[in-house]
């Protein structure tokens, strides 16, 4: 079955199993490896992308759900890596191993799109589904606030 | 320095270098090694790595396998240790560049392949900076010496009138300069001085060491271009997902692959040979499904019909085993430490206290599960993998394929977390066997369930501590019994811990009690045991620090005071005799160079209690817990603040960490490791446990193997680095051990419940 989906602003046509999770379509078929596999069950958030601007876990989203829709991945978050969140992430040295950070950024980007000045609670709630085994959470919070132009306390 | 000051300092530093901080093109130093190859020659993400032969054949100055100076002035520095989040690529190369006198903007960092020419590449034991600090400086100093010699020769002046800095050699009297690039070819013809003969710079001349440094891979991490092991793709590659035995020692009795092979995209089904004990780094057996993509391979595996022969471990039950360990520490074990007469002193003591502590099996669960890619062609093998131990990977692959190691190339990608899991080469063994059998490049992808159920687990343990107090309450006798299946059991049949295991927080415990006895008790292994970040220090620090808190409460005194009293006066212990032991591996370093420094341990305790306003805690109504520990030659003290939330859950709202690791190269990464240690330690303290029933692991994914999430993270983690010129200690691991006991002690202060068994969620709502 042919799936038509707009990925990072470019129209693509894919001939894949419609049940294939969006994650594997991105990684194995389209070669967009910035979106990560971490659990396969929407428990860790490493695979977070935007489907029509909404946060979805690509590991449990069948590609057929993206048919006729628009998907944004970390590679498309900004044209040159200059999204305020990406800048704040580098400035504050957020990543340790870096593996979960694409998912963290995509979740945070959707939050800021909806709530440009989120509260501490809103930041924690929106990122509750994104695990980081290295433990970068306190810097993630600080970087979201920095990108939002909020001072730290 | 506060976090805020740190950040301002970093901005100032970068601004001074005229770099774009906000942009992603940080010019500080560049790295093409672990981002994609230029797209022209790429068929999929693949990092460019370096081999010794490649460096040696480049024109210019190649004094050793670590440093290359090209005629255009570009300095290439090879990072031979694996980057797994500890920031090694942003640390070690800076040290080499500083010794060389290079301008960081003209330094490129490439990742080394696995090759003994680099020396030890095993990235574990928090050993990269502490173990080779001087050796790495010598690699840079050697190149500098040769550049200076070339310049002096050209100017016909004495080399000691010249110096190298900021990418040029300067003749001091005449102020003439020659760039590194201009000198590279001539310098390459100079004799290479013996490492012992090169002079290291005074520490003050190291321009960047100890300063706020940028994160070299930061930009690649945030735009999706960083290449992890999971991201490597080769032309014609198949992805394998393997149905492994769920019980140690189980084997495939028979299987039917017809349904799996009927799934579109599935190409091959291959049975892996069963491993034989001791399991070491062998592949794990089972049935592999190879497919055009990961999804098809996963579906194929689900469609396999396998009958397993479960073997003798099918009766194993970790809850029953906990009772076995408990019985083990209630009887005398092998005495490995003896000071004075602990048994006599206990018999005579005015009061005897004892307590038993338990910590369960734990899994590593790095966010990137094990994964590897390999191809075998014409008697050679090439591997791309997120490995902590590329030379072990090379050996294991060579052995599995029957090839000499020189025919195997291991390219090290970025590691999406590791924590000890990726030192083990079992997944490497799998990928090369499958590649050979399939005749095409293969990528082995572990699912999270595979990872949780087939790990090399952190050992389950029991500790029994007994203290004898005199009439005044002073501790006059201390007995520590410890039982856990040791890591060595994965490699040879052993049934109790040894000196190398008890060195982690038992034999090196710098207490000033006159009568001390430590015993290793029996513990047979039933699963693969492996090292997990901080290893045995986790449960030793938990029991020792909890017990001191218990003694303090029993005496009605302050834990800090009792802790300092038990440690005894500030002193430096430089002999095994003083510790009452025969030998101390001491993390591979001589005791004279890295003694058990009680003064430093006391120092971090005093500092952390000051910063956390420990003395005011009762007045301010705060529930704090304190713990301190020496491990990997560093000293860390932690204070945790615990609160009860409106929903009744107990959580950690603030933490203070003071670390004395001697000389540090990159303070921001040290800080990051301490912050991460608090979160990692919280998972151990509060949430994580692996249990086994019927020989199989009961957990499967993050649903039931719980980790700390952002909402549970402390509001603030304060990190204080003790300024020091002492020889460097470890950083990746030493932050973890004091975290769990600090939390458990704070939980007691808050709730009155003494938790002697982790995770705390078994006793309280967390």
Neighboring chain B residues of A101 at a CB cutoff of 8 Å: 221-222
**Mean pLDDT of the B266-270 span:** 98
Neighboring chain B residues of A77 at a CB cutoff of 8 Å: 223
Q: How confident is the model at residue B15 (pLDDT cuts 50, 70, 90)?
A: very low
pLDDT in tens, B57-104: 789 999 999 999 999 999 999 999 999 999 999 999 999 999 999 999
Distance from CA of A4 to the nearest CA of B (A): 19
Is it the case that residue B23 has pLDDT exceeding 90? no
Instruction: Give the model's pLDDT for residue B13.
Output: 30
Instruction: Give the model's pLDDT for residue B560.
Output: 98
Instruction: Give the model's pLDDT for residue B197.
Output: 85
Residues in chain B: 766
Q: How confident is the model at residue B54 (pLDDT cuts 50, 70, 90)?
A: confident
CA B486 to CA B325: how far, in whole Å? 13
Instruction: Give the model's pLDDT for residue A59.
Output: 98
Q: Are B386 and B371 in contact (CB under 8 A)?
A: yes
Q: Are B336 and B518 in contact (CB under 8 A)?
A: yes
Interface test with B, best of A138, A141, A145 (most B CBs within 10 A): A138
Neighboring chain B residues of A39 at a CB cutoff of 8 Å: 448, 701-702
Neighboring chain B residues of A78 at a CB cutoff of 8 Å: 223
Neighboring chain B residues of A40 at a CB cutoff of 8 Å: 298, 447-449, 701
Question: Which long-range CB contacts under 8 A does A112-116 form with residues at least 24 apart?
Answer: A112/A84, A112/A85, A112/A144, A112/A147, A112/A148, A113/A53, A116/A148
Our measurement of the distance from residue B513's CA atom to the centroid of its chain's CA atoms, rounded to an integer in Å, reads: 32
Is it the case that residue A102 has pLDDT exceeding 80? yes
Burial A101-120 (b: 16+ CB within 10 A, else e): bbbbbbbbbbbbeeeeebee
CA B197 to CA B333: how far, in whole Å? 50
pLDDT in tens, B439-483: 999 999 999 999 999 999 999 999 999 999 999 999 999 999 999
Instruction: Give the model's pLDDT for residue B128.
Output: 84
Q: Could you say which residues from 25 to 44 on chain B have a Cβ atom under 8 Å away from some Cβ of chain A?
A: 26, 44
pLDDT in tens, B296-336: 999 999 999 999 999 999 999 999 999 999 999 999 999 99
CA B492 to CA B525: how far, in whole Å? 11
What does the mean pLDDT of chain B come to?
A: 93
Instruction: Give the model's pLDDT for residue B123.
Output: 93
Which regions of B490-622 does DSSP assign to beta strands (E)?
515-521, 572-573, 596-597
Q: Peptide bond preceding B278: is omega within 30 degrees of 0, i.e. cis?
A: yes
Instruction: Give the model's pLDDT for residue B14.
Output: 29
- Residue of chain A nearest B11, judged by CA positions: A91
Q: Are B553 and B542 in contact (CB under 8 A)?
A: no
Q: How confident is the model at residue B40 (pLDDT cuts 50, 70, 90)?
A: very low
Closest to A99 (Cβ–Cβ): which among B228, B449, B679? B228
Instruction: Give the model's pLDDT for residue B591.
Output: 96
pLDDT in tens, B101-144: 999 999 999 999 999 999 999 999 988 888 889 999 999 999 99
Q: How confident is the model at residue B41 (pLDDT cuts 50, 70, 90)?
A: very low
CA B653 to CA B642: how far, in whole Å? 6
Which regions of B5-132 does DSSP assign to beta strands (E)?
49-50, 67-69, 75-79, 107-112
State how far the alpha carbon of B167 is from the alpha carbons of A63, B12, B76, in Å: 53, 22, 13
**Mean pLDDT of the A8-21 span:** 97
pLDDT in tens, B608-655: 999 999 999 999 999 999 999 999 999 999 999 999 999 999 999 999
Closest to B295 (Cβ–Cβ): which among A21, A74, A89? A21
β-sheet bridge partners, residue B176: B171
- Residue of chain A nearest B366, judged by CA positions: A133
Q: Is B21 on the interface with A (CB under 8 A)?
A: yes
Helix, strand, or coil here: B112? Answer: strand
Is it the case that residue B216 has pLDDT exceeding 60? yes
Q: Are B21 and A91 in contact (CB under 8 A)?
A: yes
Q: Is B154 on the interface with A (CB under 8 A)?
A: no
Percent of chain B clearing pLDDT 90 (strictly above): 90
CA B509 to CA B597: how far, in whole Å? 10
**Cβ contact (<8 Å) for B85 and A98?**
yes
Neighboring chain A residues of B86 at a CB cutoff of 8 Å: 96
Instruction: Give the model's pLDDT for residue B52.
Output: 75
ipTM of the complex: 0.98
Closest to B367 (Cβ–Cβ): which among A86, A91, A99? A99
Neighboring chain B residues of A97 at a CB cutoff of 8 Å: 83-85, 366-368, 414-418
Q: Is B710 on the interface with A (CB under 8 A)?
A: yes
Distance from CA of A120 to the nearest CA of B (A): 9
Instruction: Give the model's pLDDT for residue B44.
Output: 59
Distance from CA of B737 to the nearest CA of A (A): 15
Closest to A97 (Cβ–Cβ): which among B415, B669, B680? B415
**Mean pLDDT of the B502-511 span:** 98
Q: Is B447 on the interface with A (CB under 8 A)?
A: yes
First-residue to last-residue Cα distance in chain B? 32
**Cβ contact (<8 Å) for A31 and B233?**
yes
Is it the case that residue B25 has pLDDT exceeding 60? no
Our measurement of the distance from residue B420's CA atom to the centroid of its chain's CA atoms, rounded to an integer in Å, reads: 6
Distance from CA of B417 to the nearest CA of A (A): 5
Q: Is B733 on the interface with A (CB under 8 A)?
A: no
CA A104 to CA B330: how far, in whole Å? 47
């Amino acid at each position: 079955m042919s799936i038509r989906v707009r990925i990072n602003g470019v129209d693509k046509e894919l001939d894949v199993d419609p049940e294939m999770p969006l994650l594997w379509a991105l990684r194995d078929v389209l070669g967009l490896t910035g979106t990560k596999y971490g659990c396969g069950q929407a428990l860790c958030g490493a695979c977070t992308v935007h489907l029509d601007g909404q946060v979805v876990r690509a590991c449990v989203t069948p590609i057929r759900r993206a048919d006729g829709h628009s998907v944004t991945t970390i590679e498309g978050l900004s044209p040159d890596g200059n999204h305020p969140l990406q800048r704040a992430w580098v400035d504050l040295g957020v990543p340790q191993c870096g593996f979960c950070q694409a998912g963290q950024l995509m979740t945070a980007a959707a939050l800021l799109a909806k709530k440009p000045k989120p509260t501490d609670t809103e930041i924690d709630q929106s990122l509750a589904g994104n695990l980081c085994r290295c433990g970068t959470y306190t810097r993630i919070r600080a970087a979201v606030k920095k990108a939002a132009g909020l001072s730290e306390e | 320095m506060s976090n805020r000051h740190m950040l301002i300092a970093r901005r100032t530093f970068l601004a001074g270098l005229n770099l774009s901080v906000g942009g992603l093109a940080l010019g500080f130093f560049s790295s093409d090694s672990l981002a994609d190859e230029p797209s022209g020659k790429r068929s999929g993400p693949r990092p460019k790595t370096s081999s010794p032969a490649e460096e040696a054949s480049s024109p210019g100055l190649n004094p050793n396998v670590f440093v290359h100076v090209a005629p255009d002035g570009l300095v290439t520095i090879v990072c031979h240790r694996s980057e797994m989040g500890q920031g090694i690529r942003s640390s070690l190369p800076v040290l080499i560049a500083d010794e060389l006198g290079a301008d960081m903007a003209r330094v490129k960092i490439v990742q080394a392949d696995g090759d003994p020419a680099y020396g030890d590449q095993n990235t574990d034991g928090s050993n990269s900076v502490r173990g080779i600090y001087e050796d790495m400086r010598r690699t840079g100093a050697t190149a500098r010496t040769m550049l200076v010699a070339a310049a002096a020769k050209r100017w016909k002046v004495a080399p000691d009138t010249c110096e190298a800095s900021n990418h040029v050699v300067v003749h001091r009297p005449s102020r003439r300069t020659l760039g590194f690039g201009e000198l590279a070819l001539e310098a390459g013809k100079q004799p290479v001085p013996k490492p012992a003969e090169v002079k290291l710079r005074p520490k003050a001349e190291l321009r960047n060491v100890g300063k706020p440094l940028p994160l070299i891979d930061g930009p690649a991490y945030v735009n999706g271009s960083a290449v992890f092991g999971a991201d490597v793709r080769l032309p014609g590659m198949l992805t394998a997902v393997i149905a492994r035995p769920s019980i140690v020692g189980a084997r495939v009795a028979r299987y039917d692959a017809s349904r799996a092979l009927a799934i579109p995209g599935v190409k091959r089904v291959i049975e892996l040979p069963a491993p034989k004990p001791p399991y070491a780094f062998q592949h794990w057996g089972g049935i592999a499904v190879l497919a055009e993509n990961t999804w098809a391979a996963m579906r194929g595996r689900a469609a396999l019909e396998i009958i397993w022969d479960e073997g003798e471990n099918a009766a194993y039950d970790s809850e029953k085993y906990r009772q076995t360990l408990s019985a083990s520490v209630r009887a005398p074990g092998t005495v490995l430490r003896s000071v004075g007469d602990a048994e006599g002193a206990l018999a005579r003591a005015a009061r005897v206290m004892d307590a038993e502590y338990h910590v369960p099996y734990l899994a590593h669960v790095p966010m990137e599960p094990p994964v590897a890619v390999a191809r075998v062609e014409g008697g050679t093998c090439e591997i791309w993998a997120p490995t902590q131990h590329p030379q072990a990977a090379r050996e294991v692959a060579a052995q599995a394929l029957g090839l000499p190691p020189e025919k195997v190339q291991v390219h090290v990608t970025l590691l999406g977390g590791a924590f000890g899991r990726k030192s083990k080469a079992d997944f490497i063994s799998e990928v090369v066997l499958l590649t050979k059998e399939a005749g095409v490049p293969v990528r082995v992808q572990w699912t999270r369930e595979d990872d949780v159920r087939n790990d090399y687990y952190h050992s389950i343990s029991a500790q029994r501590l007994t203290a004898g107090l005199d009439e005044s309450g002073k501790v006059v006798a201390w007995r520590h019994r410890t039982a856990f299946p040791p890591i060595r059991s994965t490699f040879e049949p052993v049934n109790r811990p040894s000196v190398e295991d008890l060195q982690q927080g038992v034999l090196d415990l710098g207490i000033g009690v006159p009568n001390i006895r430590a015993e290793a008790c029996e513990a047979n292994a039933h699963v693969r045991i492996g090292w997990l970040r901080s290893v045995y220090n986790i449960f030793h620090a938990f029991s020792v620090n909890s017990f001191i808190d218990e003694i303090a409460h029993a005496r009605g005194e302050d834990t800090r005071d009792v802790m300092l009293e038990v440690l005894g006066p500030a002193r430096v212990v430089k002999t095994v005799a003083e510790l009452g032991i025969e030998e101390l591996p001491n993390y591979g370093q001589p005791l004279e160079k890295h003694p058990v420094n009680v003064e430093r341990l006391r120092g971090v305790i005093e500092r952390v209690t000051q910063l956390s306003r420990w003395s005011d805690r009762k007045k301010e109504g705060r529930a704090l817990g304190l713990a301190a520990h020496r491990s990997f030659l560093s000293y860390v003290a932690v204070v945790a603040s615990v609160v009860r939330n409106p929903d009744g859950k107990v959580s950690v709202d603030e933490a203070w960490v003071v670390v004395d690791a001697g000389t540090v190269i990159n303070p921001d990464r040290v800080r990051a490791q301490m912050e991460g240690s608090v979160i990692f330690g919280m998972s151990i303290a509060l949430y994580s446990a692996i249990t086994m029933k019927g020989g199989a692991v009961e957990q499967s994914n993050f649903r039931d193997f719980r980790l700390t999430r952002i909402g549970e993270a402390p509001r603030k983690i304060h990190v204080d680095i003790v300024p020091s010129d002492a020889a460097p200690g470890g950083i990746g691991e030493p932050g973890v051990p004091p975290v769990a006991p600090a939390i458990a002690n704070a939980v007691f202060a808050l709730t009155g419940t003494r938790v002697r068994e982790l995770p705390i969620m078994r006793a309280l709502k967390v």
